[in-house]
A and B are shown apart, each in its own frame.
Chain A
Amino acid sequence: MATGYTLAEKVWQSHVVHEAENEPDLLYVDLHLVHEASSPQAFDGLRSAGRRVRRPELTLAVEDHNVPTDTTVITDLMGRHQVETLRRNCAEQGIEIFPLGDSRQGIVHVVGPERGFVQPGMTVICGDSHTSTHGAFGALAFGVGTSDVEHVLATQTLALARPKTMAVEFTGEPSPDVTAKDLILALIAHIGANGAHGHVIEYRGPAVRRLSMEGRMTMCNMSVEAGARAGMIAPDDTTFAYLADRPHSPRGADWDTAVEFWRSMCTDPGAVFDRIVTIDVSALTPFVTWGTNPGQAVPLTGAVPDPSSVSDGAERASAERALSYMDLVPGTSMRDIAVDTVFIGSCTNGRLEDLREAAAVLAGRRVAPNVRMLVVPGSMEVRRAAEEQGLHRVFLAAGAQWRLSGCSMCMGMNADRLPGSERVASTSNRNYEGRQGPQARTHLVSPAVAAATAVAGHLAAPADLPGRESDAADH
C-alpha cells in the first residue's frame, strides 16, 4: 500500500480546484505558454463568447514556429498573417509577448525556462506537445490542442482525467560519450513510441541526477515521443542553481521560502507507481534512429534492422514502410549512411550546452564538402551567450550556418525546409515522414553525433573522427 505520494501526484493534488466522482479533475494552471500556430482559433473562440483572458499575467506568448532564421522579415504571407494575429491578440488581451526581433524571442520551450518562468511544483500548459520539456524542473506540464488552449485562456484551469504514473529508473553509470539524447532515444526504442501511453513518467536514478538542466529538458522533451502525457524530474541543487537569478525567479527571502518548498517536490519513499521500467545504461553507446517514428532507433554502432526478424505483424509492416521511405537496406551499417544536411537546434537540443557540445567536436575541423550544416540557437538569449563564448566563430570557421532563433528545420512550417528527398541528421525530436520537408529523411541524433556526422559526411560519433591538425601539433 502506498504510504506517500509520487512527485506527479503531489503537483496534481495541490492544483485541483474541483473534483467529483466520474468527472475529470479541474486543475489550476500556473503558467500558460502560447505560440502563434495553435492559438488563433482559441482567441477567436474567446472573442465570440464575449470573454477575456482570465489571467493575462500568467500567460506568455512567443513567436517561434513560423519565423525565418536568416532574417527578421517574414515573407511567407500566411506565416506572417499568423504571427501578426498573435501580436494583435496579445495586445488586445494584455499578454506579454516576445516577438520576432526581440532579444528574448526564441522557441517557447527554451524561452520559458531560461527566463525563470517555469519553476518546480508548477502546472504548465501550452498548445504544443513538447510542453513535456518543462517537467525537467519538477513541474507538471501538459501539451494540449487549441480547444484546451481556449479553455485555459478563459478560465486558467483545465479539466483533465488523472493520468497514471510511471517510474523510469536508469541504473548504472553511462559512459561519458552518452548524452541525455542517447538515454531518451534508447528508452523510447526499448518501450516503443506508445510505450508510456496514458502515463506521466518520472525519470530517476544517478544518471538523471548527473544531467544538467539542459540534459534534463532534452529528456523530458521527448517523453511525448514515448506516448507519455508528461515527463518529470524531481528538482535538486542543479535545478536551484539554474533558477538562481533568472529574471522571473523569486529573490531574497522569497527565494529561500521557494527553495524550501521546491525541496518537498519529490516522490516519497513509500509512494507507488502504476508502472516501473528499469533500464541499465552502463553499456549504452550513442543512439540514432533509422525509421520514421522515434522508437525505431539503434546504437550508432549497429545496423539497419531486418523487418523480417520482427514477429509482430503491424510492427513488421511499419518497419518495411519506414525502410522504403528512408531508402535503406537492412543490414547496412548505420555509420555508412551518408547525409546531405545536419541540423542542430529545436526545443530538444537547441540550448547552450548543446551548442557547446557540437562546437567542441567541430573546433579545428570542417564540415564535409557535400554537407550543409545549420546551427539554430533555441533562443536569442542562447545565441547571445554562445557568441559571448565564441561558439559562433567555431561554427562559421567549420563552414556551418549560424542562424537566428526559431523552430526552423524541426518542422516544415517556415522557410527552413529540406528540398526533395534529402537525408538529414537532426537534433530535433521527430523523424516522421515529411516532417522536415515533404520527402525528407530524418535521423534523430545528439548534438555531438550531429557535429561528428557533419564532419564525416555520414552518421558518426566524435570518437570515429580522425584527430585534428591542432591535436597533432600538440604532440
Chain B
Amino acid sequence: MQPITEHTGRCVALRRSDVDTDQIIPAEFCKRLTKTGYEDTLFAGWRKDPGFVLNDPAHAGATVLVAGHNFGTGSSREHAVWALRDWGFRAVIASSFGDIFLRNAWKNGLLAVRLPEDVVADLADRADAASGPSSPSTWSPARCVETACGRPFRSTTAPGGCCSTVWTTSA
C-alpha cells in the first residue's frame, strides 16, 4: 500500500449518486487472482459509452474523483478500490460512502473524503468548468490533507474507520 498523507491533483466529476461497486468494476473482472492490474476494468460498462466523463481526454490524469452520495454502495468487492487506485485515483470525494467501500479504501490508501453535499456540488462544478479540451492547463487542482494518519479511527463521524480529513482547494 502506498500511504497517503497529502495529495495535490486534478478533480473529475462523476455526476451520479448511489454508484455501486458493480459499476466501479463489473463482476466478470473479479475472477482474477491478483491485487493489481485492474486499471482496464474501472467503470468498464460505462466506459463503453464514448461520452462517459472518464473517456474525455480533457480529464486524463485526474487523480481525484468527485462523486454523488452513497458512492461505493453494494458488493464488498475490494476490487472496486483496486480498480480506482490502478486507474490513478488517489482520492474520492462524496457526501457519503458505502460502509464496506470506506473500509476497503482505507485499507488500500485510497482517501475517501466526506464533505457536505453543497461543497461536493461546488467542487463538481469547478472540476467541470476548469476542464475542457481548450483549457486543460486551467484545471482546478485539489489538495487533500489527511490529518489523522497513524490514528485512523479518530473521527467518530466516520463509520468503517475512515481517516478524519481536512479538505482545501487552491481557488
A residues near B (Cβ < 8 Å) are 22-24, 37-38, 40-41, 44, 65-66, 76, 78-79, 81-82, 85, 127-129, 143-148, 159-161, 163-164, 193-194, 197-198, 224, 227, 229, 293, 314-315, 317-318, 321, 411-413, 430, 432-435, 438
Contact = CB atoms under 8 A, between A and B. Distances in A.
18 contacts: A37-B77, A38-B78, A41-B34, A85-B33, A143-B76, A145-B107, A193-B18, A198-B160, A227-B73, A314-B17, A314-B69, A317-B16, A411-B75, A412-B27, A430-B22, A432-B20, A432-B22, A434-B26
Contacts of B73: 193-194, 227, 293
B28 interface: yes
A145 B28 contact: no
A317 B15 contact: yes
B27 A413 contact: yes
Contacts of A163: 159
Nearest to A318: B17
A129 B100 contact: yes
Interface string B65-109: 000111001111110010000000000000010111001100110
B31 A82 contact: yes
B35 interface: yes
B165 interface: no
Nearest to A161: B161
B27 A411 contact: yes
A312 to B, nearest CB: 10
B131 to A, nearest CB: 20
B23 A433 contact: yes
B47 interface: no
Contacts of A82: 31, 33
Nearest to A195: B70
Contacts of B70: 193-194, 197, 227
A78 B32 contact: yes
Interface string B150-163: 01011000111100
A143 B159 contact: no
B26 A412 contact: yes
Contacts of A79: 31
B78 A145 contact: yes
A172 B20 CA distance: 34
Measured as residues with beta carbon below 8 angstroms from the partner, the interface class of chain B is 35 or more
A314 B26 CA distance: 23
A146 B103 CA distance: 11
A81 B31 CA distance: 8
Nearest to A150: B107
A147 B78 contact: yes
B12 to A, nearest CB: 17
Nearest to A199: B159
B3 interface: no
Nearest to A228: B99
A22 B152 CA distance: 9
B16 A321 contact: yes
A197 to B, nearest CB: 6
Interface in B134-171: 151, 153-154, 158-161
A252 B77 CA distance: 41
Contacts of A44: 33, 35
B154 to A, nearest CB: 6
B57 interface: no
A413 B28 contact: yes
B61 interface: no
Contact of B18 (A37, A40, A293, A411): A293
B45 interface: yes
Given A127-B76, A147-B104, A433 B45 contact: yes
B76 A129 contact: yes
Contacts of A314: 17, 68-69, 117
B30 A413 contact: yes
A144 B100 contact: yes
